[in-house]
């Protein structure tokens, strides 16, 4: 994807203790996501905020 198309890109994520961690990625309205049990990597213990 060229840099000129970055306006159509969205990345979101959530991490919860004992729940399910999810990452969603969309390009021009077409969405993709993946989820995994939070206990797999326990990222909720360190992940607070990400900004690009």
Compute how many other C-beta atoms are within 10 angstroms of the C-beta atom of residue 42: 13
**Over the stretch 9-40, which tens digit does the pLDDT of each residue have?**
998 888 888 888 898 999 999 999 999 888 88
pTM of the model: 0.65
CA distance 27 to 3: 13
Residue 6 to residues 1, 29, 49, Cα–Cα distance (Å)? 8, 12, 21
pLDDT score at 51: 66
Which residue do the tokens 């991490």 mark? 15
Pairing, β 20-27 against β 9-14: antiparallel
């Amino acid at each position: 994807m060229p840099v000129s198309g970055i306006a159509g890109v969205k990345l979101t994520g959530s991490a919860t203790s004992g729940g399910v961690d999810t990452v969603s990625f969309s390009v021009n309205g077409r969405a993709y996501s993946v989820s995994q049990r939070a206990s797999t990597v326990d990222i909720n213990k360190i992940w607070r905020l990400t900004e690009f």
